[in-house]
Amino acid sequence: MLVRDVMSTIVLTIGPAHTLRQAARLMSARRIGAAVVLDPDTSGLGILTERDILNALGAGHDPDRETAHAHTTADIVFATPEWTLEEAATAMTRGEFRHLIVLDGHEAVGIVSVRDVIRCWVARSGLRPEGAALTA
């Protein structure tokens, strides 16, 4: 199975001047763990994750003053829609992150998360129906 088969194609894109609180509200409203940060001045892409926001708050930063730009991960590994899920999982494991921006050429066309990969693998394995609770 390929990244294009499981990636989220609706991508939250924010600007570098969004505050951490604004970013957190948008991410929370969409129930997602990452936003693509697009800087129109540099045409660069970054990613702001829930972990980035949590680390900033844990360090005592003011979420109403701190910008996405200041906490954006700029050293990103990008996936392509043609990557296998194994390639995506390997990249996330090696880099110790949970989201990959998916690029088709220079355009962000999706995000794939660890959850997307696991959901697919669980569904393929037939271990349990989607949405069924696990029992201890």
| Cα R_g (the chain), whole angstroms | 16
Domain count along the chain:
1
Q: Is residue 77 part of a domain?
A: yes
Helix, strand, or coil (residue 63): coil
Please say whether the beta carbons of 36 and 46 come within 8 A: yes
Question: CA of 82: how far to CAs of 2, 49, 97, 108, in Å?
Answer: 6, 24, 20, 14
What pLDDT, in 10s, does the model give residues 6-25? 999 989 999 999 999 999 99
The verdict on residue 40 lying in a domain is: yes
- 135 within some domain: no
Tens-digit pLDDT profile for residues 79-122? 999 999 999 999 999 999 999 999 999 889 999 999 999 988 88
Residue type, 27: M
Report the C-alpha gap between 83 and 69 in whole angstroms: 28
The domain that holds 115 is classified in CATH as: 3.10.580.10
Q: Average pLDDT of 129-135?
A: 52
16 assigned to some structural domain: yes
Compute the CA torsion angle 37, 66, 21, 31 (nearest 10 deg).
40
Question: Does residue 32 lie in a domain region?
Answer: yes
Tell me whether residue 68 is in a domain.
yes
Instruction: Evaluate whether residue 130 is within a structural domain.
Output: no
Q: Which domain holds residue 79?
A: 3-125
- Does residue 134 lie within any of the structural domains? no
Q: Across all residues in the chain, what is the average pLDDT?
A: 90
